[in-house]
Amino acid sequence: MSAAFDRLSPAMQYQIVNGLGFSCLRPVQEAAVGPILDGNNCIVLAPTAGGKTEAAFFPVLSCMDAEAWTPCSTIYVAPIRALLNNQEARLQRYAGLIGRRAFKWHGDVSASAKNSFIDDPADILLTTPESLEVMLMSRRVPAERLFRGLRAVVIDEIHAFVGDDRGGHLSAVLERLSRFCGKDVQRIGLSATVGNPATILEWVAGSSRRAGVIVDPGGGRKTPELAIDWVASMSNAARMVARLHPGKKRLVFVDSRRQVEALGQALRELGVETYVTHSSLSVDERQTAEAAFQDGKDCVIVATSALELGIDIGDLDHVLQIDAPTTVAAFLQRMGRTGRRDGTVPNCTFLATEPDGLLRAAAIVRLFREGFVEPVEPLRRAPHLLAHQLMALGVQQEGGIPVADWWAWIAAASPFRDLGEVERRLLVDHMIAEGILHESAGRLALGERGEKLYGWRNFSELYAVFSTPQTLKVLWGASEIGAIDVFFAQQEQLANLSFVLGAKAWRAVEIDWDEGIVRVEPMATSNLARWQGRPQLLRPELCEAIRAVLSADDMPADWSQRARVRITELRAEYGIGSAPSFELVPDSIGLRLWTFAGGRTNNLLARALESLLGAKVVVDNLYIGFREQAATSEVAIREALRALRDAGRPDDQDALRFAEQCARGRLSKFQPCLPEVLESRYLADTLTDVAGAADLVRRILGR
C-alpha cells in the first residue's frame, strides 16, 4: 500500500487488507502511523468521520502486537458515555483482529462485568475521566496491578476537555496513572476542530518527556452549504424543520433541554417522525431515540450538544441549528456531522427565533469565513481542582497520602502549573483547619467535614469535578423517562405539576422526596419543564463579530430574505457605526454603553464603575448598562472612566476585589475547600479579564 502501511506489524497489515477490506489508508491514517509507531505524543487532526480512530488505533494495535504489550495497555478516554457506547463495537472488532480485547467501563456498566474485567483485564479500556477516578479511589479496584502494563492513552474529542474543569481533572488523572505504571505513557489526542493544536499538545504531554507531533494531513476541506433564516418563534422553527428536506434524515441542534422538549413536541404535533435526546432523559430513552433515528429515513432528531461529539447516528443528510451555538468550534463540530458520504457536502441551516440568535449565527459564519476557530485555553491555576485531587489522593492511598509525597503525584498536571508552593501550603493548611483534611502520622486523609461534604454515597461527590444537580427521577410504571430539576418541582403543588419530557406530556401523581422519585402518567398537553443553567460568557472575538455584522451594510448570499429584512431592522435599531464610538445611549430604563467586549471584560469594568458611581451597573456580553443612581449623569460616567484610566485600572486587585460580585452562585462544589484569597483568585480568573477591561477603558476614552 505505502511506506507507512509497511511499518505496521505483519498481523495488522494482513487484517487491515483482509479482515477490514481496506484497499488503502486514508491521508490522516497514513500521516499518523510513523509518529505513533515512533512513540511520540500526538495530536491527530481530521474532519469528523475522517478516520481518526483508525489513525490512532492501527499503529497502537501494531505496537501491542509486535511488542507483546500486556493488559491493560491502552486506555481510550471519551467525554461522554454515548461516545463510548458508540465506539465499543468498533474497538472490540479492531482489537479482535489480532486476538486482543476491549472493555467499556462507565456508570451504566454492571458491577459483575466490571468485576470480570478486574479479574481478567482487557487490552483496551474505554472509559471517562470520572470512571478512571472511581478506579483509582476504589478499594475494590487494584489500580496498581490493573494499570501496571499501561503504555498509551488515546483521548477522543480532546478539544472538549482541555479548556474546562473536566480537562484539568483528566490531566491530573493521567499523571496519577503514569505514577502507577512507572512509565512515560504515550499520549494521543484526537480532534476535528482546534485553533491551537500546539497548546493542546503541550497540555496532553504533562510530565511526559516524549517528543510531540501534530498530525494534520491538511488537504482540501469540502466547501459547506450554509443558510441563515429568521423564523421569529419556536413554532415557526418547527414548521420550517417539517418543510425543509422532506424524506431526509435531519439533526436539529438546540442549546437547552427546555428547547429540545419544545421543538420535539411541536414537530410531533405537525406529524413529523421525531426523536429527542438530552442529558436529563434516561439512558434507555436516549439510546432508543438514537437507534431509531439511525435506522430511520424520513425523520428528525432534536438534540443538545451531546450529539456533536462524534457519535455515529448513521448517514445524516442535513444539520439545522435553532439560533446559534456560542463558539465557532461548536458550529464546526455540528456541521461536521454532514457531508460524510461521497458526493455530499457539509451543510448547516440556522433558524433564528430571537434577534440575539440571528446576530450570533451571522457572526459565527463570518468568523468561520475568516478562518477563525477559538483557541482552547488550558487551566493553569485551578486551586479548586487541586483541593479535589488532595482529597482524592487521601482516599486513594489506604491510610492517607504522605504529606511529603502528594505533590509529586500531580505536579506536572496542567491546572497546577501556576500554583506556587506558598499557595499550595495555604490550601493544605486551610483544608486541615476546616476539617476537610485530617493530618496524622505524616499523612493526609479526608477529615470529618470533608466526609460530610464529599464522602456520602461512597465518595461519589469526589468522582467528578462537576456538580451533580439535584433532580427527581421520573418513572411511568417501571419505565424511567428521565429526570426533572428539584427546584422546578418545588414551585408547584403536586396537583398542578405537569411537564414535557421526551417530547411527551406527563402529569405528576406522586413524589417520594426521600427516594428522589416522581411518578407520572401521560396527559394530552403540558407546559415545559425548566432546568437550571449558567449564563454564557461570550468570547470577545464573537462579540466583535456581532458588532461587525451590525455595522456593515453587506447582505451575504447565505442570508434568507427574512434574515436580510430582520438584520436591516436590527442595524437601524442598534445604530452602530463602522467604527466603535462608545457613546452612551439611552434605553428604556437608563443608559447603555455598547462595548462588544465579551462577558469577562464587561464583568470587571462594570463592577469597577459601580464602585465609583453607586448602584446600579448591569452586565451583558455586548454592553454595560447604567441604572438608577449610576444613570443620572453621563458626565459622571465619563469621569469615572477617566479616573480608572489614570489609576491604571481595572487591575488585578480589582479583579480579586470584585470577583465574588461577578459570580451568580457557586461555580465549583470545591469552593468550601478554598481560603478566601484562593477563592477570590479562582473567581477572578474564571469571570474577569483584567487586560481586556483595561484596554477597553483606553479605547472608550480614545487613547
pLDDT in tens, 223-277: 899 999 999 999 999 999 999 988 888 899 998 889 999 999 999 999 999 999 8
Domain chopping of the chain, boundaries = 3-215, 225-369, 383-462, 471-522, 580-700
Distance CA 58, CA 56 (A): 6
Q: What is the pTM of this model?
A: 0.91
The reported pLDDT for the residue numbered 489 is 84
Domain 383-462 = CATH 1.10.10.10: yes
Distance CA 2, CA 333 (A): 31
pLDDT in tens, 666-703: 889 999 999 999 999 999 999 999 999 999 999 999 85
pLDDT band, very low/low/confident/very high, at 108 (cuts 50, 70, 90)? confident
pLDDT band, very low/low/confident/very high, at 101 (cuts 50, 70, 90)? very high
Mean pLDDT rounded to a whole number for the chain: 91
The reported pLDDT for the residue numbered 313 is 62
Contacts of 630 by beta carbon, 8 Å cutoff, 6+ apart: 590, 609, 610, 613, 614, 615, 616, 617, 637
Distance CA 483, CA 471 (A): 6
Residue 34 dihedral angles phi and psi, to the nearest 5°: -60, -55
The reported pLDDT for the residue numbered 302 is 92
Indicate if the pLDDT at residue 104 is higher than 90.
yes
pLDDT in tens, 602-614: 999 999 999 999 8
Indicate if the pLDDT at residue 308 is higher than 70.
no
Indicate if the pLDDT at residue 461 is higher than 90.
no
pLDDT in tens, 197-214: 999 999 999 999 999 999
Indicate if the pLDDT at residue 383 is higher than 90.
yes
The reported pLDDT for the residue numbered 37 is 97
- Of 492, 526, 494, 490, nearest to 510 (Cα)? 494
Distance CA 341, CA 346 (A): 10
Percentage of the chain beyond pLDDT 70 is 97
pLDDT in tens, 66-95: 999 999 999 999 998 888 888 999 999 999
pLDDT in tens, 507-566: 998 898 888 889 999 988 888 887 777 778 999 999 999 999 999 999 999 999 999 999
Judge whether 225-369 and 383-462 match in fold.
no
The DSSP 8-state label assigned to residue 191 in this structure reads E
pLDDT in tens, 415-449: 999 999 999 999 999 999 999 999 999 999 999 99
Domain 3-215 = CATH 3.40.50.300: yes
Indicate if the pLDDT at residue 386 is higher than 60.
yes
pLDDT in tens, 126-160: 999 999 999 999 989 999 999 999 999 999 999 98
Indicate if the pLDDT at residue 286 is higher than 90.
no
For the chain, the 3-state helix, strand and coil shares in percent, each to the nearest 5, are 45, 15, 35
Indicate if the pLDDT at residue 97 is higher than 90.
yes
Distance of CA 539 to the CA centre of its chain: 15
pLDDT in tens, 333-351: 888 878 777 777 889 999 9
The reported pLDDT for the residue numbered 311 is 62
The DSSP 8-state label assigned to residue 418 in this structure reads T
Which amino acid is residue 317, in one-letter code? D
CATH superfamily, with its number, for domain 225-369: P-loop containing nucleotide triphosphate hydrolases (3.40.50.300)
The reported pLDDT for the residue numbered 645 is 95
